[in-house]
Amino acid sequence: RHPAAQYVLDPVLGDDGQLYVSEEMVGAYREAVREADAVTPNQFEAECLSGVAVDSVAAAARAMDWFHGQGVRRVVITSAELPTFPGQLVLFCSEQNGEQGEPPARSMIPFPKRDIDFTGTGDSFAAFLVAAVAAGLGWAAACARALAQMQALLDTTVAAQSAEETPAGAARAAARELRVVQARAVIEKPTVQYKVFPFPTD
């Protein structure tokens, strides 16, 4: 590993309470986490790796602290569904910048929940996030920009799907592919519309 390289880990384990991989991969990803500078799990993946049920804002903080305890500087839980945020998902981000023992900087971004699933959203978000960090944005600002790009990409994809007549069967999968090329303009210049909130203080 090059000493100047930044290692961003997207721990692709599963979603919605279901593993995509074997149980053994959870342990393998826990080992990989220790080498990462940043991690981008979804709610289910954060729970699998940390052992913390992310069912509240405080629990999200505990889960992110587990990653910090493994040596990870930057953490984002890309989407969490909590009972206190009906109709929404919440992105949580945390950055450990100070000396050991100092509290990390934490933020959260609520955004509307969609009633449709697409394949590749986690990959796209991680790519957008890496690009935002490489452009010099701070962690919370980079997360907000990546979220805005992701939502713009989904808006473009939904609009394209609605405009097309899709026959039943196998063609439906193609209709749900993310329209990255069509969304190029809004990806390059996204409108950051969701507010970044600091974590509530105890």
Closest CA to 66 of 88, 90, 45: 45
Residue 94 contacts residue 74 (beta carbons within 8 Å): yes
DSSP track, 147-163: HHHHHHHHHHHHHHHHH
In the chain the beta strands, taken as DSSP E runs, fall at 8-9, 14-15, 18-19, 38-39, 74-80, 88-95, 105-112, 197-198
Rounded distance between C-alpha atoms, residue 65 and residue 13, angstroms: 20
Structure tokens at 36: 């990462």
126, 8 contact by CB (below 8 A): yes
Round to whole Å and give the CA distance between 195 and 94.
16
**Residue positions annotated with a catalytic role:** 123
What does residue 39 show for φ and ψ, rounded to 5 degrees? Answer: -130, 150
* Strand 197-198 to 74-80 pairing: unpaired
